[in-house]
């Protein structure tokens, strides 16, 4: 291929190429037998569908995918099983190594448990493959089991021992194994994690924020003092802390022209986050992975954060054509306003907030999140994911004694004079072609909020006044067809639409 | 009695007053269709149909089609009538001028079709099926097929069919077994049996062009392995004329409840030569592109029959003297008052009228949107129009034919015992209308299409095209006192439709049975709400014109709108409760207990 000039996009094409004939963009792939390009087809394997019923269903499937999965997994898993006790005395160390070192979601012994060890051994036997002694010895017994709410592993001697957790490691998964939630609905749970601390866990798809989560937060605010608890951490063990608000719900409500209900959805979020902020007990947010949009705004309403080092925080609402509507604009504005090290004058908080929100800035680490006021002084960062909950719990407990809810903040904002200047700035970017027409519409909505609406520097605006501005602009944008086009596009393709 | 008169004034109201004719006329290819031309077309069609086709409606029903030695003879007079229909150019009125058609927009052809259905539904099947075949070849055929078949279908010398159903494969077309084997030279040999083929065999045209769903030898199982073929009764010769016979034969015709003058055939394909239309295994996609217009066409049948039944019932109620008005005689000089004095008769007549005029407005709205998406060069506008049509078509097809059937039934009821007597013609409307709820996807399937496909498509984008404008319309007129009697019930029904939609979206996601169980009630709720919106608009137009010469016409519109709002729309609250009751009462019922 290289000799013939098929060197990739800048040559005649590579294994793939983009065909732009006819004005479109068609992704094509090379046929390895003929060398001809044809339209890339998305393979559809029945075994992949079957995998929804579990890994074993995939391995049992006779199509190419099923065969491939079996050939790879049968060898990898029996190899791994043959290495204990050679490389380590116990299986859990191998599983942990594969999870941490190779980013496997489950270690090899956990996978064997999911497939069924006895079935796995039997199939290896039927196909004339060697069955590792450890697997043979286990017979019908799993490598892991839960006994009295504790996770146990099977030792090489065939007995079960409690899985050791090092000091400073606290896992919600362990707590969930041995206790029942204090409260539960389809999107969230409250857990008693000991010492008077409650953990709020999101359980919705991709941990998106929805009315059920809002309901659970309001419940927590009532329940925690009533039941004698002292503090709350917001934490979960999903891949991402929260991908943001449930956009599908919002789009559907807008498509049905349920404007009152949509508005209520936003208003309810605002009220809930305010109730969280001014709750009579300390709250620590403990994010890991993505914490975007509404998932970022909830963090902004916590007393403090204990973030995993790999946390990606950002207010990305403009990407889908709206502005932060659950107090994100308000929090950044007030945080910059009260920041002692900021430059003087009325404009810096407005400009700083605008710069962050208008381009959907996402901090690339917990450390960087401080640059944008997503993290404040005194917030903590934890390097080891397994220690995040323990650190958050310690932090919130340290705040219990003498805790008082934060003082309400008032801000003075420049109003229309600043708005006009900033709008002109955006306009010049439009003329340069750096900003799309709808970007401008969204940016102007954001400016309206951040400049304080119809106000001037003599007037003090309460947090509620800022929230009202957010709500108005959010609803105005949510009715815009270009916003709905952005939302629909990201829901369907996972990619932003630049309209 | 066959008392039908083309409702030309109604058509003018819909075409010129309710909707904006300029929007249609501005579309490419529609420039010449100004108001006068449109009125003239409608008048001419109405004249021919009532003079030539209407008299054959009852005789055709009595006589039915004849099947002898594999050939079908249509009832007496049909052949001559078809010739007149062809000579007047009506076979090509909706077709592309490139193939000899007149290129009328759907906004007009829909009304023409309505008159055809009202005069003679059975007759209308023949050109109707030809048009379906035309659409399929036009959209998916290659240039050679188009050049060969389209002019013949347009000039009416050949007719068409759609061969989908097989004994084991009805709603579920994935079960189609007819096979197609590729031949040298690019043709295929088709073998299999198709049933329920309307116009499958008859004596009206020189040739019959069958569009056949079949399976290639290497086709994947199920719906993704279906291809579409064109299979003529006679193979075209070198000059493109009907030549030697093909392996296509009619095995029998069905004996049906209604549309007896329309031949419904069992078609046998025995190594019949055919040609592929569109891509292999993409037959269903090809079908879907004209499913919209086909379903629109069936909905129109509901209006046509409904209007014919209404007109017959009104004429009878006016003349028939029976009983006295409850509050004292209205015509003391006569032996009895007319049926019109009785509240229940008035209820029936106004029910027919309110549904027919409302559904007609809905159909016209959709037809206009189809014109926009077929012709507009503005992409966003075309997309929005296509979305709206896709959403409303199952509503129009199912709700339109359900109320069309109800209207036919009420027509019989107004006649009392005489309605049951064949010579009055009213019972024929009931029998004829019944099929419209079944074919082109049963009304239950339409309801599933609405909740399963249309509601959820693109996170509700199709829904937006209806809900946002209606919401805005209501919002803008909230304080309009003159319209309050219409806007308020509309707003209530609309709110229920919104909530029912959200409920189905929410509950159907976890349990598809919930969406399916709600679907028929939901579709009816949707239909009623759409009609409430259109009746409000019709009332709004009429309010401005009450002082003019046509006071009576507009007053009647306003009064019919009131009747709809007060006497028909209230069904919506019952439907709403039923939807929210969920599926449990039906799904928990034990199978053995049935």
By the CB < 8 Å criterion, does A389 face chain B?
no
B587, containing H or E segment: helix B584-587
Mean pLDDT confidence for A418-424: 95
**Chain A residues within 8 A of B459 when measuring between CB atoms:** 248, 251-252, 255, 487-488, 491-492
Q: Name the residue among B459, B468, B498 with its Cβ closest to that of A488.
A: B459
* Interface contacts (A, B; CB < 8 Å): 43
**Chain B residues within 8 A of A254 when measuring between CB atoms:** 464
Q: Name the residue among B459, B470, B501 with its Cβ closest to that of A248.
A: B459
Q: What is the pLDDT of residue B216?
A: 96
pLDDT in tens, B280-326: 999 988 887 677 788 999 999 999 999 999 999 999 999 999 999 99
CA distance A296 to A315: 6
Q: CA of B467 to nearest chain A CA: how many angstroms apart?
A: 5
Mean pLDDT confidence for B169-186: 94
DSSP A103: -
> Does B24 have pLDDT greater than 70?
yes
Q: Output the average pLDDT for chain B.
A: 96
Mutate to test the interface with A, among B458, B466, B525, B533 (most CBs of A within 10 A): B458
Residues 122-181 in B contacting A (C-alpha not used; CB under 8 Å)? none
Q: Is the Cβ pair A256, B461 closer than 8 Å? A: no
> Does A371 have pLDDT greater than 90?
yes
Q: Name the residue among B461, B468, B505 with its Cβ closest to that of A257.
A: B468
Q: What is the pLDDT of residue A396?
A: 98
By the CB < 8 Å criterion, does A492 face chain B?
yes
Number of H helices, E strands in chain A: 20, 17
pLDDT in tens, A431-461: 998 999 999 999 999 999 999 999 999 999 9
Which of B423, B427, B404, B430 lies closest to B352 in space, CA to CA? B404
Q: What is the pLDDT of residue B285?
A: 84
Mean pLDDT confidence for A88-96: 93
Name the pLDDT band for B370 (thresholds 50, 70, 90).
very high
Q: What is the pLDDT of residue A64?
A: 92
**Chain A residues within 8 A of B501 when measuring between CB atoms:** 256
CA distance A85 to A80: 10
**Chain A residues within 8 A of B464 when measuring between CB atoms:** 254-257, 484
Find out whether B382 and B324 touch, Cβ atoms under 8 Å.
Answer: no
> Does A135 have pLDDT greater than 80?
yes
Return the residue of A nearest to B510 by Cα. Answer: A186
Q: What is the pLDDT of residue B113?
A: 97
If DSSP codes are grouped into helix, strand and coil, which group holds residue B315? helix
Find out whether B263 and B360 touch, Cβ atoms under 8 Å.
Answer: no
Our measurement of the distance from residue B71's CA atom to the centroid of its chain's CA atoms, rounded to an integer in Å, reads 29
Q: What is the pLDDT of residue A475?
A: 97
Mean pLDDT confidence for A107-113: 97
Find out whether A390 and A168 touch, Cβ atoms under 8 Å.
Answer: yes
By the CB < 8 Å criterion, does B468 face chain A?
yes
CB atoms closer than 10 angstroms to residue B142: 12
Mean pLDDT confidence for B186-203: 97
pLDDT in tens, B27-52: 999 999 999 999 999 999 999 999 99
Q: CA of B294 to nearest chain A CA: how many angstroms apart?
A: 27
> Does A111 have pLDDT greater than 80?
yes
**Chain B residues within 8 A of A253 when measuring between CB atoms:** 502
Q: What is the pLDDT of residue A243?
A: 95
By the CB < 8 Å criterion, does B507 face chain A?
no
By the CB < 8 Å criterion, does A264 face chain B?
no
> Does B1 have pLDDT greater than 60?
no
**Chain A residues within 8 A of B460 when measuring between CB atoms:** 251-252, 255-256
Q: What is the pLDDT of residue B169?
A: 93
**Looking at per-residue confidence, does B218 or A310 come out higher?**
A310
Q: Is the Cβ pair B463, A254 closer than 8 Å? A: no
Q: What is the pLDDT of residue A343?
A: 85
Q: Is the Cβ pair A257, B458 closer than 8 Å? A: no
Q: Is the Cβ pair A257, B502 closer than 8 Å? A: no
Q: Output the average pLDDT for chain A.
A: 94
Q: Is the Cβ pair B464, A258 closer than 8 Å? A: no
By the CB < 8 Å criterion, does B525 face chain A?
no
CA distance A314 to A79: 43
Q: Is the Cβ pair B459, A253 closer than 8 Å? A: no
By the CB < 8 Å criterion, does A16 face chain B?
no
CA distance B533 to B482: 16
CA distance B518 to A27: 41
Q: Is the Cβ pair A257, B472 closer than 8 Å? A: yes
Is B68 assigned a catalytic role?
Answer: no
By the CB < 8 Å criterion, does A248 face chain B?
yes
**Chain B residues within 8 A of A259 when measuring between CB atoms:** 471
Q: Using alpha carbons only, how large is chain B's radius of gyration in Å?
A: 24
Name the pLDDT band for B2 (thresholds 50, 70, 90).
low
Helices (H), B14-171: 21-25, 35-48, 55-63, 78-87, 106-119, 121-140, 143-155
Q: CA of A235 to nearest chain B CA: how many angstroms apart?
A: 27
Q: CA of A257 to nearest chain B CA: how many angstroms apart?
A: 5
Q: Name the residue among B467, B470, B472 with its Cβ closest to that of A255.
A: B467
pLDDT in tens, B442-490: 999 999 999 999 999 999 999 999 999 999 999 999 999 999 999 999 9
Q: Is the Cβ pair A256, B459 closer than 8 Å? A: no
Q: Is the Cβ pair B502, A484 closer than 8 Å? A: no
**Chain B residues within 8 A of A41 when measuring between CB atoms:** none
Mean pLDDT confidence for A405-430: 94
**CA dist list (Å): B431 to A70, A208, B260, B416:** 61, 54, 9, 17
Calculate ∠ Cα A414-A358-A338, nearest 5°: 45
Q: Is the Cβ pair A491, B460 closer than 8 Å? A: no
| % of residues, chain A, pLDDT over 90 | 87
Q: Is the Cβ pair A492, B458 closer than 8 Å? A: yes
pLDDT in tens, A453-485: 999 999 999 999 999 999 999 999 999 999 999
Find out whether B7 and B307 touch, Cβ atoms under 8 Å.
Answer: yes
Q: Which residue in B440, B514, B540, B592 is the catalytic one? A: B440
The verdict on pTM exceeding 0.95 is: no
| % of residues, chain B, pLDDT over 90 | 95
Q: Name the residue among A255, A259, A261 with its Cβ closest to that of B459.
A: A255
């Amino acid at each position: 291929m290289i000799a013939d000039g098929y060197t990739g996009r800048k040559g005649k094409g590579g294994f793939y190429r983009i065909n732009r004939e006819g004005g479109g963009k068609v992704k094509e792939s090379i046929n390895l037998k003929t060398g001809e390009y044809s339209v890339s087809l998305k393979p559809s394997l029945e075994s992949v569908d079957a995998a929804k019923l579990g890994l074993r269903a995939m391995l049992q499937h006779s199509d190419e995918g099923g065969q491939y999965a079996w050939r790879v997994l049968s060898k990898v898993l029996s190899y791994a099983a043959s290495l204990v006790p050679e490389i380590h005395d116990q299986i859990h160390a191998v599983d942990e190594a594969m999870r941490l070192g190779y980013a496997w979601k489950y270690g090899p012994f956990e996978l064997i448990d999911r497939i069924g060890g006895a079935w796995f051994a039997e199939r290896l036997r039927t196909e004339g493959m060697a069955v590792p002694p450890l697997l043979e010895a286990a017979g019908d017994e799993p490598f892991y089991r839960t006994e009295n709410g504790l996770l146990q592993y099977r030792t090489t001697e065939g007995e079960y021992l409690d899985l050791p957790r090092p000091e400073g490691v606290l896992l919600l998964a362990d707590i969930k194994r041995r206790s029942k939630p204090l409260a539960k609905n389809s999107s969230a749970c409250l857990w008693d994690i000991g010492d008077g601390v409650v953990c709020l866990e999101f359980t919705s798809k991709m941990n998106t924020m929805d009315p059920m989560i809002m309901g659970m937060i309001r419940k927590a605010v009532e329940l925690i003092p009533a039941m004698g608890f002292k503090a709350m951490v917001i934490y979960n063990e999903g891949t991402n802390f929260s991908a943001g608000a449930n956009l599908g719900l919002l789009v559907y409500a807008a498509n049905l022209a349920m404007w009152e209900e949509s508005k209520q959805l936003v208003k309810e979020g605002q009220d809930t986050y305010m109730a969280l902020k001014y709750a009579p007990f300390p709250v620590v947010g403990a994010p890991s992975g993505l914490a975007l949009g509404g998932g970022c705004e909830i963090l902004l309403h916590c007393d403090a954060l204990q973030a995993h080092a790999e946390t990606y925080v950002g207010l990305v609402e403009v990407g889908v054509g709206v502005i932060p509507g659950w107090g994100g604009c308000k929090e950044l504005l007030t945080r910059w306003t009260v920041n002692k090290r900021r430059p003087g004058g009325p404009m810096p908080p407005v400009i700083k907030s605008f710069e962050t929100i208008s381009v959907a800035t996402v901090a690339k680490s917990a450390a960087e999140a401080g640059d944008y006021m997503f993290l404040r002084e005194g917030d903590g960062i934890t390097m080891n994911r397994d220690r995040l909950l323990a650190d958050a719990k310690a932090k919130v407990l340290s705040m219990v004694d003498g805790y008082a809810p934060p003082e309400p903040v008032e801000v003075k904002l420049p109003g229309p004079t600043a708005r006009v200047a900033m709008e002109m700035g955006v306009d010049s970017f439009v003329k340069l072609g750096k900003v799309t027409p709808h970007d401008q519409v969204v940016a102007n909505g954001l400016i309206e909020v951040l400049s304080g609406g119809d106000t001037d520097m003599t007037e003090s605006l309460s947090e509620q006044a800022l929230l009202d501005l957010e709500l108005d602009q959010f609803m105005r944008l949510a009715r815009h067809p270009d916003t709905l086009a952005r939302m629909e596009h990201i829901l369907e393709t996972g990619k932003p639409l630049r309209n | 009695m066959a008392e039908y008169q083309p409702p030309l004034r109604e058509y003018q109201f819909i075409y010129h007053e309710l909707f904006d004719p300029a929007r249609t006329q501005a579309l490419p290819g529609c420039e010449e269709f100004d108001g006068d031309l449109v009125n003239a077309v409608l008048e001419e069609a109405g004249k021919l149909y009532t003079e030539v086709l209407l008299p054959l409606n009852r005789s055709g029903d009595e006589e039915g089609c004849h099947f002898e030695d594999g050939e079908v003879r249509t009832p007496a007079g049909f052949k001559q009538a078809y010739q007149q229909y062809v000579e007047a150019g009506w076979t090509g009125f909706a077709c592309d001028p490139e193939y000899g058609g007149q290129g009328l927009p759907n906004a007009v052809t829909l009304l023409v079709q309505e008159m055809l259905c009202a005069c003679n539904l059975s007759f209308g099947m023949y050109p109707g099926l030809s048009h379906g075949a035309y659409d399929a070849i036009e959209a998916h055929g290659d240039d050679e097929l188009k050049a060969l078949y389209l002019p013949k279908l347009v000039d009416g010398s050949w007719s068409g069919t759609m061969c989908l159903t097989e004994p084991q494969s009805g709603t579920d077309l994935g079960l189609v077994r007819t096979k197609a084997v590729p031949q040298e030279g690019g043709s295929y040999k088709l073998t299999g049996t198709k049933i329920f083929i309307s116009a499958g065999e008859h004596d009206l045209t020189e040739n019959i062009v069958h569009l056949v769903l079949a399976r290639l030898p290497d086709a994947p199982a199920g719906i993704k392995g279906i291809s579409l073929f064109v299979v003529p009764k006679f193979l075209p010769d070198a000059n493109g004329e009907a030549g030697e016979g093909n392996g296509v034969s009619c095995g029998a015709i069905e004996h049906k409840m209604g549309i007896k003058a329309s031949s419904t055939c069992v078609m046998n394909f025995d190594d019949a030569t055919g040609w592929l239309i569109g891509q292999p295994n993409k037959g269903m996609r090809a079908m879907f592109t004209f499913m919209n217009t086909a379903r629109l066409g069936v909905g129109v049948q509901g209006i046509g029959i409904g209007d014919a039944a209404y007109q017959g019932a009104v004429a009878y109620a006016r003349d028939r003297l029976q009983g006295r008005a409850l509050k004292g005689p209205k015509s003391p000089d006569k032996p009895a008052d007319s049926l019109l004095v009785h509240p229940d008769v008035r209820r029936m007549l106004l029910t027919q009228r309110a549904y027919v005029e409302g559904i007609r407005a809905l159909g016209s709205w959709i037809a206009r949107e189809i014109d926009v998406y077929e012709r507009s060069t503005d992409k966003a506008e075309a997309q929005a129009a296509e979305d709206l049509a896709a959403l409303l078509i199952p509503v129009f097809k199912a709700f339109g034919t359900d109320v069309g059937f109800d209207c036919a039934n009420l027509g019989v009821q107004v006649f009392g015992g005489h309605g049951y007597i064949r010579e009055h013609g009213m019972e024929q409307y009931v029998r004829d209308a019944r099929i419209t709820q079944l074919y082109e996807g049963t009304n239950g399937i339409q309801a599933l299409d609405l909740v399963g496909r249309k509601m959820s498509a693109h996170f509700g984008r199709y829904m937006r095209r209806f809900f946002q404008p209606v919401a805005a319309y209501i919002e803008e007129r909230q304080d309009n006192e003159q319209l309050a009697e219409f806007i308020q019930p509309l707003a209530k029904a609309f709110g229920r439709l919104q909530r029912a939609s959200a409920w189905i979206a929410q509950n159907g996601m976890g349990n598809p049975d919930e969406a399916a169980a709600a679907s028929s009630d939901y579709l009816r709720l949707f239909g009623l709400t759409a009609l409430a919106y259109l009746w409000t608009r019709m009332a709004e137009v009429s309010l401005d014109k009450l002082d003019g010469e046509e006071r009576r016409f507009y007053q009647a519109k306003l009064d019919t709108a009131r009747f709809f709002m007060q006497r028909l729309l209230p069904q919506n609250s019952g439907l709403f409760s039923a939807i929210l009751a969920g599926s449990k009462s039906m799904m928990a019922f034990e199978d053995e207990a049935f």
